[in-house]
Amino acid sequence: MISFGPVPSRRLGKSLGINNIPSKKVCSYSCIYCQVRITKEFSIDR
């Protein structure tokens, strides 16, 4: 788990981010608003 921040927050002004995704991010999406990082490996398996 990695913590990062402070990051801008519209509601709170600033907030602390916590990344509970494993260090090798595998995701089925590449959301433009994701603060973790860009998805390089896509997967639908869990």
Cβ(21)–Cβ(29) below 8 Å: no
Give the angle subtended at the CA of 36 by the CAs of 1 and 22, to the nearest 5°. 40
What tens digit of pLDDT does each residue of 25-42 get? 666 677 777 766 677 777
Please list the residues that pair with 2 across neighbouring strands.
19
Q: How far apart are CA 39 and CA 7, in angstroms?
A: 20
Q: What is the pLDDT of residue 38?
A: 72
If residue 31 lies in a helix (H) or strand (E), which one and from where to where? none
- Whether residue 24 is predicted with pLDDT greater than 70 in this model: the reply is no
39 or 46, greater pLDDT: 39
- pTM to 2 decimal places: 0.35
